[in-house]
Each structure stands twice: as structure tokens, then as C-alpha cells.
Structure 1
Amino acid sequence: MKIDKKLLGELIAEMVAVFIIILFGDSVAAMYTLYDPSPYKTAYWGVCIVWGLGVTIAIYVTGAVSGTHANPAVTIALATFRGFSWKKTPLYIVAQVLGGFLGAAAVYALFSPVIDHFNEVHHFTRALDGGAAGVFFTHPGEAVTPMHSLLVQTILTGMLVFGIFAITCEYNTMAPQANSGALIIGLLVATIGASAGYLDAWAINPARDFGPRLFCYFAGWGPQALPAPQNYWWVPVLGPTLGGLVGGGAYYVLIRPFMPERLVEPMAPTPVVLTETALPAERFGAHSHS
């Protein structure tokens, strides 16, 4: 597929969007994890808000260029249900993962002395103990198995994409108007994290997890990043992908057919990359809380 100037701009925008999300999100995860006392240990909602606002900022920066998918699960759901180009889909995903990789590199540049100090104080190593790995990528929480985490990621990402489709549907008269949808999508991400983030750090985005995980593999965490304990690495890739399809399908089966305007005015096919109204939608996001 030839990459012309327009497509190149879209790919750069997708990379930048995920970079922004990871820069803010993994940085707040570092603030949560590496400091004692942590400014967020008793204020977890603050962690969730930062992740959500990272998504909102990413949308405002890049939405006019690419629509700010910023999430392979969103891109695949849009290709499946809203006519986004399947030819562009793998290119978008590569750009998103690259954004996650570069975002993690930037966070590492900021916090590497603190990471080393944290590991020294707690007698952790990167490759053997995964010291401070939770700053960058996700893992199962207490009493959660990888297979249960797969279910968690499927459900949570399903709610994310279900919400994005509702927020950006042109027939939804209750959806946020103008460009306020970006803020509501950010709050949706924050709400998902606040309600279920401790289960497995609420990746809900393959690029959000795999991009930083790939960086950490080369930055000294090695097998703690890939394939990760219990071979966990594939869970936050497959779970969100399945969840996006479930959530998008659920919206088109359960809600979309009953929108009042749709009953009298059929929607014409549209090539808009993200939404029927050209309003930007998510990412992301996702989060690592430990």
C-alpha cells in the first residue's frame, strides 16, 4: 500500500497520540509506584484521571488528522463496524505500538534514576524480579490468573468501545456536542480504571501495553517483559481485541437500531476514519497502577 502524505500524517498522528497517553499515564504510574509516601496511594482516582486526561489531550492534539484511534482494539472495531480501511489497519497498529514504545522510552528517560534507586532500596533487579516493571506495562493483580485477566480485558475493553461508539454516533441526541466528546471519552477511561483497575491494571489497549513492554524487554527487564511471568504478554493483546469486537457489535445490535433518527433516515455509508460525525474518539488508553 502506497503511503501518501495524508496517510503518513495519519500514521504520525496515531504514533503521537499513543506517545502522549503513555508519557502521562506511565509517568503517573511511576509517581504511584516509586515514591514512598506515594502522592497517589490514598488518592487512586487521581491516577485514573491522569490516564483519562492523557487520552483527552491526545484526542485534541491528533483527532483532526487521524481521528485518534490510539488503540488497535478501536481500529479493528472501526474497520469491522464503521467502514475504516482494512488496508490501513495494520499500518495504524504499527504506528500505535511505536508510539507506546517511544512513550515508554521518554518515561524511562525521566524516571530512570528513581527506578534504579527504588530497585536498590527494595533489593530488586529488573530481569529477575521485574523491579518497577509496573511503571510501564500491566500484570495480573492479587488473586487474578491470566485467564481471568483475559475475561477482564475483554469486558472492560468492550465497555470502552461500546461507550466510544455511543459517544460518537451521529444519531445519538444525548451524545456530547461539538468537541466535548474527547473529555467524556477521557472520563470513560478514568471510570473504567477507577472501577476495575486493580484487577490487572486495566490495559484495555494492546499498544498501551505491548509498546512499553517491548521497550522494557530491551531496557533490561528481559523475560519479565516478554514473555512475562506466566507467559502473560498475550493477554492484554488478545483480550482488548476481542473486547473491542464484542463492544462494537453490542452497540450495533442493542442500541444503534433504535436511535429515533435512524428509524426515519437511514445512514449512508461513510469513509470517515473514526466516527460518523468526524468527532474524535479514543485510544487508550489504559493504565498500570503498580
Structure 2
Amino acid sequence: MAENSATNGNHVLNVEDGKPSHQSSSKTNQESSNSCLCVPFMQKVIAEVLGTYFLIFAGCGSVVVNLNTDKTVSFPGIAIVWGLVVMVMIYSVGHISGAHFNPAVTVAFATTKRFPWKQVPPYVAAQVLGSILASGTLRLIFENHQDHFAGTSPKGTPLQSFVIEFIITFYLMFVVSGVATDNRAIGELAGLAVGSTVLLNVMFAGPISGASMNPARSLGPAIVSSHYKDLWIYIVSPTLGAICGALVYNVIRFTDKPLREITKSGSFLKGAGRT
């Protein structure tokens, strides 16, 4: 999808630059042949499994280690771990799968027609599988008295957590839409921007709702620990927040800048579906 958009954009750009049409056609044909070398879908799914696994293993692992070492990691340290692991995994596999690692993000991209709906079920399944495997690994490592629930649960009222999860996921998806789907942004800084957003959200929302922002992040630990109380909050609220965040960014996306300026830059997050 991203490759086709890039091809069409370059084709229009060449025509506007006044280059001969045969040069534009040959360039388009060459790019079309290059697009055949795209990453196979199964590799994208595997990348989502691995990316989500390491995301949950590091993030939830910091929570468990903190509980087992007399708060050695500290809450700010947990927030930093979440932000760093998101950033690292985006730079690692963002060019392969788009680095969603989050069913809410995947559904939001599909809702705004930047990701095919037919690929949503396998992506979501891969993300949930990665989360379950990571949560299971942590439970095996920290068993018996060291086994602590690393999932998310409301510290206040369910409504309070629902609203907070909606807002912080809206904020996250708004940033993701800006750096991953708009060529006017500096796409190479996407990992830093998204990771920093996660860090900020965890810092101020973590003590209240757990700052999930990700149904897979809450589902994995809940399934492994059979802890399903208020789980619906962390499935419904982030999904609604992500969809609204993507839709709102689309409202402000429109610009009167010339096409050549909009399509000049590129990003490695091709799996996310840049325009």
C-alpha cells in the first residue's frame, strides 16, 4: 500500500517537474518492479509477534522486577523502560511490519483506510500471541512467591480509568498518525516521538489506570494470570481513543502546500501506510 502510494506520488511529481513522459513511465515501471520485492505478509506477522513479545517482556518485566527488588527500578524507571522499548522496536522492525504492536493502532489505521481490513485479524492475533508468550515467560521466571500480576487494573473508579485510557491513547495515536502517515513530518524520528509519548503517558497516567494504551498489553498478563476484572476497559477505551485520534489528525492533515513539498520526504514506517 505504501509502496503504491510512493510510486504514484513520484509519477505525478515527475510530470509536474516537466520531465519527458517516457522517463516518467520508465521510472514508474522500475518502481513497480521494485515493489514486487516487498516483505512477505508472513514475515510482517512474525515481526509483530516478536516486536510485541519484547515490548511486553521488557515493559511488564520492569514492573515485576520492581516488585521483587524493593522498588529498585522505581516508577520513573518503569516509564522509561516502556518508552525505550517502544522506540527500539520501532527502529528494529518498523520497516518490516509498520511496528504496530497494538490492536488499537491496527484498527485505527484500518478505520482511516491506511491499512487493509483483511490484514487486521492476523495482525491482532500476532500481537495478542506475542503478549501472551511474554507474560508466560515472565511467569515462568518469577514463579511462586515472586509471581506478581503485571497487568493493568484501575486504581480509582472504572469510569476514571476508562476516560484516562481514552485520552492517552487518543494522544498516542495522534502522534503516531503525524509521524507515520504524513510525509511532511520527519519520519526517521518516529521511534523517538512515539517512545517519548508512551513515556509521558505512563508517567502521569500509570498510577491511576496503569497506562495500558494497548489491548494486547493488558490481555496477555490477564490471560496468563486469569485476572479478568475490569479488562473490558483496556480493550474498549484504547480502541475508541486510537480511532478518534487517527480521525482527528485526518481533519487537520489537509494543507495548501504544493505536492512536491509534501511528497519530498519519506519514512521507514512503510508498513503503517504513509501518504
TM-score scaled to structure 2, two decimals? 0.78
CA spacing shift, 1:261–1:114, aligned 2, 3 Å: farther
Distance 2:174 2:186 in 1: 15
Pair 1:275 & 2:270 matched: no
Partner of 2:267: none
Give the conservation status (yes or no) of the 8 Å contact 1:193–1:201.
yes
Runs of 4+ in 1 over 4 A off after TM superposition: 261-267
Give the conservation status (yes or no) of the 8 Å contact 2:95–2:271.
no
Give the conservation status (yes or no) of the 8 Å contact 1:171–1:261.
no
**Which of the residues 134, 149, 172 maps onto 1:160?**
172
Q: Aligned runs of 1:1-290 on 2, under 5 Å?
A: 6-36=40-70, 38-41=71-74, 44-113=75-144, 115=146, 132-133=148-149, 135=150, 137-141=151-155, 144-172=156-184, 175-178=185-188, 180-217=189-226, 225-226=227-228, 228=229, 232-253=230-251, 255-258=252-255, 260-261=257-258, 272-276=270-274
Following TM superposition, by how much is the alpha carbon of 1:183 offset from its aligned partner in structure 2, in angstroms? 2.2
Q: In structure 2, give the amino acid aligned to 1:210.
A: L
Q: Is the radius of gyration larger for structure 1 or structure 2?
A: 2
CA spacing shift, 1:79–1:262, aligned 2, 3 Å: farther
Distance 1:213 1:32 in 2: 19
Is the helix fraction higher in 1 or 2? 2
Give the conservation status (yes or no) of the 8 Å contact 2:179–2:186.
yes
Q: Deviations over 1:71-113 (max 9, x none)?
A: 0010011111142110010111011000000010111222225
Partner of 1:123: none
Structure 1 counterpart SS, 2:211: coil
- Cα RMSD (Å) of the superposition? 2.3
Give the conservation status (yes or no) of the 8 Å contact 1:171–1:262.
no
Higher relative contact order (CA 8 A, sep 6+): 1
Give the conservation status (yes or no) of the 8 Å contact 2:166–2:240.
yes
Distance 1:72 1:84 in 2: 12
Distance 1:61 1:113 in 2: 34
Question: Tell me, which stretches of 5 or more residues in structure 1 are unaligned?
Answer: 117-131, 218-224, 278-290
Q: Structure 1 residues 103-112 or 15-24, which shifts more? A: 103-112
CA spacing shift, 1:88–1:238, aligned 2, 3 Å: same
Distance 1:191 1:261 in 2: 34
Distance 1:241 1:258 in 2: 28
Following TM superposition, by how much is the alpha carbon of 1:189 offset from its aligned partner in structure 2, in angstroms? 0.5
